[in-house]
Structures are given as structure tokens and as C-alpha cells.
A and B are shown apart, each in its own frame.
Chain A
Amino acid sequence: MTKADNTAVPKKKKRQGPIRWEAVLPVVVLVILFSLYAKFFMDTHLRMALQWGLTSAMGVQVDVRELETSFFKAHMRIAGIDVTNSESPMKNSVSVGEVRFGMLWDALLRAKIVINEAVVEQIEFGKPRPSKGWVKPPEPIIESNEPGFLAKEGEKLKGQALEKVQEDYNENVFGDLASILAGTDSQVQLSKIEESLASKKMAQELDTWVKGKQKDWETRLKTLPQGSDLQALEQRLKKVKTKDFKSPQELQDSLKELDGIFKDADAKIKTIEAAGKDLDGDLKKANADVKALEAQIKADIKALETRFRIPSLDPKALVAALFKQYLDPYLNKFQTYRALAEKYVPPNLMKKGGKEADPAIQPRPRASGVSYEFGRPNSYPLFWLKRTAVSSQAGTSPHAGNIKGEILDVTTNQVLTRKPTIANLAGDFPGMEIRDFSTKLTVDNRGEASLIELLLNVGSYPIVGRDLIKGSDVNIAFDKANGAVNVQSSLRALREFELRLGNQFNNVAYNISAKNEVVSSLLKGVFNGMPAVTLDARFSGTLPRINTSVNSNLGPELQKGLSREINAKIAEARAKIEAYVQEQVGKTKAQIDTEIAKLRNQVDGEVKKLQAQADSKKKEVETQKEKAKKDAENSAKKGVENEAKKAAEQLKKRLGL
């Protein structure tokens, strides 16, 4: 075929309309394919996605056995939800038999999810797993010396470590008590302290200072006006004429001489006064240093008591130490859920703001904008689960319980629904001997500050083999007991937290063991006399800082029981420490006291004596001066009187009288 043949037969194209009719078939094929996928594979993929999402969010393996959806009914059924227990991965923390709910198409078409009624059935706790569940390993701690954000994090970790040390110390209270009771002298091996005590060093420094001052004052005393100087003044004073002045010039000369002596005496007094002031300053400093030394000695004794773990018999400290291991798992769980809330609750609700800027350059994330809700009365919020009926029947499994309750009005916008979220659950778990369980949870976001309240009561639950104190010296455990718990908790504005826990343990059988026989019998005596124990705890504060206060009737009883035996031992250990410190520092301190007293008596006395002498000389000069002045006045007066008498007699003679 030639090129001309190719171009000669032009193929006339059919004019095409605006609608692409040929696309109908591919679209129909696509719709059929999607329907087939939805029918046969979507549920499986949704189930896998749900498992993956829940596992990632909770940090433990979450299994979902079945998931069924119905597009036309907008219905979903999820069965066999197993959440692994993070502390015991061979068990589930909670298992839910079935959850089913139907959404309203009316709301779905408005891009909202409204569920009239959901059903949760067959709840089980602590059910064994067929295989070990995955638990997310703890985040590694990054060590760095970089300043800024990482340095701050480092500081935070340091603070946490210090708190941990403090906690560890509290935990060992009973071990320390046991050691003291057992009379372990090795604890108070003071001679093994290699580094010097702070008070000892301070005393040595003070001693050197006092000795130096003593030398200084000895030198200075020699430079002060002595008795001979004052006697010389006296000699000079004696030579000055103070009466029978023959002429005014003579009087003037005497007065000038007296002024010179007065000035000399005054200068000597001033020198002695300045020395006296300096001495006062030195003595005051010495007194203050001695007081500081005494305080340091006390601080050293206290530090040694802490170092050698001399326990105190404060009932609160005893209770805190006793129930620490019991309460720690609950506090850890609370911290886990709080961290989850921090991670997933929207920033505006948690008031997260003020995030540290990442130093690395990051691409600008796509902004999410602001979504406005144009609600009106009786319209749907974005999500509204009107009622969830919770029911579970005991008997099918030993981990299942009789639970009945409902969760009302779970929604994203309580202002629109005008109802708070309320959950009421009650029941018991006969297989686990948990009876009269009831809880009421209220979440109210209608006001300016949200309020979450929780009331929880458990009438009776068994405690078997629960460790209270587990150490190398002492072990105390609840072998068997019946517990009852009452919890009242509130969280305001997702920050202000308060939890009151009231625990009662009845028919308690203890398991107590100690290395030392005396300790063991003493602790058994105290604990076995208390078959009923109360534990009241209060956790409050602004998250994440929580203050803890723990009280128990065990505290005073323990104090009473232990104080008889242990007080003497504690006093003995304290006395040993005090004696050691006194031995190290006391000698130097006594020496310092003597030296200061010596300085005070010797120098102070000398200075005062000199000052008194100089003062008397000064007075003497003043007296002499006054005397000279008076004498001159009297002489002048007498001269004038004589002249007047002479003149009168001459006048009488002239007049012939």
C-alpha cells in the first residue's frame, strides 16, 4: 500500500454529542465491582483497620473477632473485642462479647452520626488469652546535653529521678525499722565516714580565724595608749600653773597648755574607743559564727540520721510506706489514661497550647481551618449516641458478670442536646466474688468549665496474696481479705483533679515474715491484732501535679506497737551519731568558746581600763582648766575691789570725813 492510498480514504468521524454515553458501561462495571468488594471484603478490611487503630491508640493488642456492616440499614455489629492487659499480657483487661448499633440515615445524609440505641453485651474482666498479647514497649529516654527543649526534658527527668529516690527511701522505712530493731550495729558504722563533716571543717576554719584575731589584738593592744602615756599627761598637767596669776598673759599661757593636754587626752580616748568598737564587731562575728556552727552541727546530725536511715515513727509516713505498693498500680493506670487523654483529646479542650518549637525545619502542614456548626434547636450534633444499653449475664464464663446499666447522651455538642452524658452501671461478678458494684459517671460540658464526676462503689471484693511491703528485711502481705471500696472523683476544666478513695479491708489474714525473729514476732503481734483495716486516700491538685494524702487506722496502731520496742533503739542510734559529731567537732568548738572568752576578758578588760584612765585624765584637765579660769577671775575681782577701796579712802580723806 502506498502513502497516497493511506491519505486517499479519509475516515469520516461521527459527530459526538455532549454526553459521553460510552462511559455508562465502565461506570456500571465499577459500581458492580465496588458492591462486590463491599459485600465480600470490606467488613474484613474494616475489622483489620479497627484492630490496628485501637492497638495503636491504646498501646496494647486489641483483637476484634467479627465485624459486620449493613449499608442500607446503616448498621454495625462488632463481636469479640479483647483488650490485652498491659501488666499481664496473658490476660485481657476487658473483653466485650458484642457491640451493635444502627445509625440514622437521616443524620448520615447531613454528615452527622446519630445512634438511637447501641447495645453492649457480655462484659468480662481478666479473661485469659489464648496467646500472649502485644504490649507497646516503653519509649526510650534520649540523653542529650543540648540546651533548650531537650535540656528542659532532661531537667524534668532529673526531677522525676529525685522524686523516685525519695519514694524509694519511703519504701524502705520498714526495712530500716527492722534493721534498727534487730540492733544491726553495722548501720551506724560512723568510723567509716571518710569525708569530713561540714561542721568539722567549719569549726576548724573558725578556730583559725579566732586564733588569728587573738594575735591581731595582742599587736593592737601594744599600739594603744598605755599607762605610761597617761602618766606623762598627768606629769604635764601638774606642771601647769592654775592659781596666783600675776598677769593675764600668764593665765593665757596656762590655758593654752591645758588645751593642748586636753586635746592629747581626747585623741588617746578616740584611739581606745575605735579599738573598742572593732573589738565589739569581732566579738559579734565570733558569736554569730559560733551560732552558725551549732546549726551546722545539728544539720550534720540530721544528715547522718538520714544517711544511716534512722526512721521516724510518724504514723502518716508509716501508712504511706505500707500502702505504697498497693496504691502504685492504680496511680500508674491513672497516669496511663491521663497520657492517652493528653494525646487524643482536642487541644482546645485540654488547653494544650504553648508547644515547644521544633528546632528542625518542618514542611508547612496543610491547615485544617475552622469548622463552624450552624445548629438550631432540635437539630443533630456531629455525633450523638442517645442511649447505650449495657447488659451482661454471669454464668457463661467465670470472668463474666451480671451487669446492667445505660450510658446516655454521648455527644460532641452538649449545648445542642442540652443533656450531660451520664453512665450508670451496677451489678456483680459472682465468679470473681465481686459484689454490689455500682458506678455513676457524669460528663457535663454545658458550662464554661467542663465537669467530670465519678462515683464508684464496690460492696465486697476478694484480695488474695497482695504484697504491701516486699523487701530483703521485711515482707508484709494481705494473705486473704475482703475489701470494700468507695471512690468519689471529679475533674474540672480537665485540669483540677480530686479523688477520694475509701477502702475497707475486713477479715484480713496477713502474711508477715522478717529476717529477724524479734522483728517478725513484733510485726505479727501488731498486725494480727487488726483484722479490719481502713485506707483513706486523697489525690488532688492541678494536673499533672497531684498531691497525695494517705490515712489508715494501721498508722497509729503501728506507731503504738513499734514505739515501745523501737524508740530506745532509735534514741541509741541518734545518740551514737550525736556523740560522733560532738567528738569530731565538740573539742574544736569548746576551744573556740574558750578562746573567744579569753579574748573578751583580756582585750576587752584592757581596753576598758585604758578608756577609764584616759577619761579620768581628761576630766582632770577640764577641772584644772576651770580652776585656773576661776582663780584668774577671783584675782581680777579682788584687784578691782582693792582699787575701789583705795579710791574711796582717798575720797574720804579729801572730803575730811
Chain B
Amino acid sequence: MTLLLKQLFAFFRMLNSDTGHNQLAAGLSCGIILGFSPFLSLQTLILLFVLLFFRIQIGAAFMAAFFFKFVAWLVDPLADALGRAVLENEGLRPLFVSLYNMPLVPLTRFNNSIVMGSMVVGVLLAIPAFFIFRSLILKYRATFVARFKETKIWKAWTATKFYAWYTTYEKLYL
């Protein structure tokens, strides 16, 4: 829980800093795929390893996964129909037969209509979402954060002893 909260705080800190916009966008995009994937499946495990070993913002990924889990639940009927259409496609049948009888691949549960439909939706959304999130983050920093830092409230806050103490602590330990 502490690790998770730490990651979430890191997400907000990074969002309001000047660096790491690619990490944040990649994290949010991975979160989309995570949200659309079943919890107990091979693709979830692989994504978790990717998040762990590559410098992708984990807090952003978990936050996006949490949000997109609800979206996935709402679009279940659509995902089911899409999955059926894909799995029943005669042209793809030999591919699915090979994948189904291959080691490891069936652990993704791709043969389930909702999993397949959600996977297609998730992957298709994740790629454009990366670029959209990146541009939104840059815009947010250029407009909202810059303006907020010019406000009197922020300036008064930065002048407090507590803020000074916090920045020192951040530099030393975080």
C-alpha cells in the first residue's frame, strides 16, 4: 500500500515538474491495456514486468488501469460482440488453432470473446492514447502549472518554512 501511495505521489510530482512526460504518457497508455485485460492472465503479468523493468511511471499506469477497468466493464457487451467477430473469422481460424495449441499463448485467454474484444480495444486505444496524453501533459504544464505558480497563493506557500523544510527533505531523500 505504501509503495502504491508513493507511486501515486510520484505521479503527481512528476506531472507538475518539467521532466518525464514520456514516462507519464507511456504509463497511462499501459494502464489502458491493463484496464482492458483480465486480472489473472499472461498479458497482465507481462505488462507488470514491463512496468517494473522499464522506466514507465507505475502510478500513472495503476491510476489509468483503475479508471479503465470501469470503462471496460461498461463496454463488455461491445467487447463481447467484437471478440466473437474476431474469433469466428474464418480467415483467422488457422492462426487461432496454432496459437491455441502453442505453449504459453493460451494463458492469455485470447480464446474468450470478451478478453479478445477488450484486448483489441485496449491495444487500439493505447497507441494513439500515448501521443494524446503526451501532448495533454505538455499543454497542462505550459498553461495550468505555469499560471498557478504565478498566483499569490502559491508564492505565499513557497515562502513558508514548511515548504522550505519539505523541499530540503525532497532533495535529500526523494
Interface residues of A (CB under 8 A from B): 3, 6, 11, 16-20, 23, 27, 106, 109-112, 366-376, 379-380
Point out the residues of chain B lying under 8 angstroms from A20, CB to CB: 52-55
Contact present for A371 and B80 (CB under 8 Å): no
Point out the residues of chain B lying under 8 angstroms from A17, CB to CB: 55
Q: A19-B54, A369-B115 are in contact. Are A111 and B97 (CB under 8 A)?
A: no
Q: A6-B168, A106-B103, A369-B114 are in contact. Are A111 and B109 (CB under 8 A)?
A: yes
Contact present for A19 and B53 (CB under 8 Å): yes
CA separation between A369 and B117, bound complex, in Å? 10
Contact present for B55 and A18 (CB under 8 Å): yes
Point out the residues of chain A lying under 8 angstroms from B97, CB to CB: 374-376
Point out the residues of chain B lying under 8 angstroms from A373, CB to CB: 100, 111
Contact present for A18 and B54 (CB under 8 Å): yes
Contact present for B77 and A376 (CB under 8 Å): no
Contact present for B112 and A110 (CB under 8 Å): no
Contact present for A19 and B55 (CB under 8 Å): yes
Point out the residues of chain B lying under 8 angstroms from A374, CB to CB: 93, 96-97, 99-101, 111
Say which residue of A109, A112, A369, A379 sits within 8 Å of B112 (CB atoms): A369
Q: Considering only CB atoms, which chain B residue lies closest to A7 in the complex? A: B167
Report the number of A-B residue pairs with Cβ-Cβ less than 8 Å.
81
Contact present for B53 and A366 (CB under 8 Å): no
Q: Is B152 on the interface with A (CB-CB < 8 A)?
A: no
Q: A366-B73, A367-B114, A368-B114 are in contact. Are A110 and B54 (CB under 8 A)?
A: no
Q: Considering only CB atoms, which chain B residue lies closest to A11 in the complex? A: B171
Pairs A–B under 8 Å by Cβ, sample size 8:
A6-B167, A18-B55, A110-B106, A367-B80, A369-B117, A371-B109, A372-B112, A376-B97
Beta-carbon contacts under 8 Å, B1-40 to A: none
CA separation between A452 and B53, bound complex, in Å? 54
Q: A112-B106, A376-B101 are in contact. Are A370 and B55 (CB under 8 A)?
A: no
Query: Nearest 8 A-B pairs (CB), nearest first?
Result: A369-B114, A374-B100, A111-B106, A109-B103, A369-B113, A374-B97, A370-B113, A371-B112
Residue interface mask B104-138, A partner, CB < 8 A = 1: 11110101111101000000000000000000000
Contact present for A370 and B84 (CB under 8 Å): yes
Say which residue of A18, A23, A27, A366 sits within 8 Å of B76 (CB atoms): A366
CA separation between A6 and B103, bound complex, in Å? 58
Point out the residues of chain B lying under 8 angstroms from A23, CB to CB: 52-53
Contact present for B101 and A110 (CB under 8 Å): yes
Contact present for A111 and B93 (CB under 8 Å): no
Interface of A is mostly: loop
Given contacts A19-B55, A109-B104, A371-B111, 17 further A-B contacts (CB under 8 A): A6-B167, A17-B55, A23-B53, A27-B52, A366-B73, A366-B76, A367-B80, A369-B79, A369-B114, A370-B80, A370-B84, A372-B96, A373-B100, A374-B97, A374-B99, A375-B97, A379-B101
Interface size class of B (residues with CB under 8 A): 35 or more
Point out the residues of chain B lying under 8 angstroms from A111, CB to CB: 106-107, 109
CA separation between A17 and B83, bound complex, in Å? 38
- Count chain B CB atoms within 10 A of each CB in A369, A371, A372, A373 and give the residue with the most: A369
Contact present for A369 and B83 (CB under 8 Å): yes
Q: Is B164 on the interface with A (CB-CB < 8 A)?
A: yes
Q: Is B63 on the interface with A (CB-CB < 8 A)?
A: no
Point out the residues of chain B lying under 8 angstroms from A109, CB to CB: 103-104, 107
Point out the residues of chain A lying under 8 angstroms from B73, CB to CB: 366
Beta-carbon contacts under 8 Å, B71-86 to A: 73, 76-77, 79-80, 83-84
Interface residues of B (CB under 8 A from A): 52-55, 73, 76-77, 79-80, 83-84, 87-88, 93, 96-97, 99-107, 109, 111-115, 117, 164, 167-168, 171
Contact present for A372 and B111 (CB under 8 Å): yes
Say which residue of A110, A366, A376, A379 sits within 8 Å of B103 (CB atoms): A110
Point out the residues of chain B lying under 8 angstroms from A366, CB to CB: 73, 76
Q: A18-B55, A23-B53 are in contact. Are A370 and B103 (CB under 8 A)?
A: no
Point out the residues of chain A lying under 8 angstroms from B99, CB to CB: 374
CA separation between A3 and B161, bound complex, in Å? 10
Point out the residues of chain A lying under 8 angstroms from B105, CB to CB: 110
CA separation between A110 and B97, bound complex, in Å? 12
Contact present for A375 and B100 (CB under 8 Å): yes
Query: What's the nearest-Cβ distance from chain A to residue B37, in Å?
Result: 14
Point out the residues of chain B lying under 8 angstroms from A370, CB to CB: 80, 84, 112-113
Point out the residues of chain A lying under 8 angstroms from B84, CB to CB: 370
- Count chain B CB atoms within 10 A of each CB in A16, A23, A366, A370 and give the residue with the most: A370
Query: What's the nearest-Cβ distance from chain B to residue A392, in Å?
Result: 37
- Count chain B CB atoms within 10 A of each CB in A110, A368, A374, A380 and give the residue with the most: A374
Point out the residues of chain A lying under 8 angstroms from B88, CB to CB: 372
Query: What's the nearest-Cβ distance from chain B to residue A112, in Å?
Result: 7
Query: What's the nearest-Cβ distance from chain B to residue A29, in Å?
Result: 12
Point out the residues of chain A lying under 8 angstroms from B111, CB to CB: 371-374
CA separation between A195 and B88, bound complex, in Å? 73
Point out the residues of chain B lying under 8 angstroms from A376, CB to CB: 97, 101
Query: What's the nearest-Cβ distance from chain B to residue A489, in Å?
Result: 36
CA separation between A106 and B105, bound complex, in Å? 12
Point out the residues of chain B lying under 8 angstroms from A367, CB to CB: 76-77, 80, 114
CA separation between A588 and B84, bound complex, in Å? 80
CA separation between A106 and B104, bound complex, in Å? 10
Q: Considering only CB atoms, which chain B residue lies closest to A112 in the complex? A: B106
Point out the residues of chain A lying under 8 angstroms from B107, CB to CB: 109, 111
CA separation between A457 and B115, bound complex, in Å? 49
Query: What's the nearest-Cβ distance from chain B to residue A86, in Å?
Result: 35
Point out the residues of chain A lying under 8 angstroms from B117, CB to CB: 369
Contact present for B55 and A16 (CB under 8 Å): yes
Query: What's the nearest-Cβ distance from chain A to residue B116, in Å?
Result: 8
Q: Considering only CB atoms, which chain A residue lies closest to B20 in the complex? A: A16
Point out the residues of chain A lying under 8 angstroms from B104, CB to CB: 109-110
Q: Considering only CB atoms, which chain B residue lies closest to A20 in the complex? A: B55
Q: Considering only CB atoms, which chain A residue lies closest to B167 in the complex? A: A6
Query: What's the nearest-Cβ distance from chain B to residue A15, in Å?
Result: 10
Point out the residues of chain B lying under 8 angstroms from A106, CB to CB: 103
Contact present for A369 and B106 (CB under 8 Å): no
CA separation between A23 and B49, bound complex, in Å? 10
CA separation between A366 and B79, bound complex, in Å? 12
CA separation between A369 and B109, bound complex, in Å? 11
Contact present for A369 and B80 (CB under 8 Å): yes
Q: Considering only CB atoms, which chain A residue lies closest to B159 in the complex? A: A3
CA separation between A464 and B89, bound complex, in Å? 66
CA separation between A372 and B85, bound complex, in Å? 12
Point out the residues of chain A lying under 8 angstroms from B171, CB to CB: 11
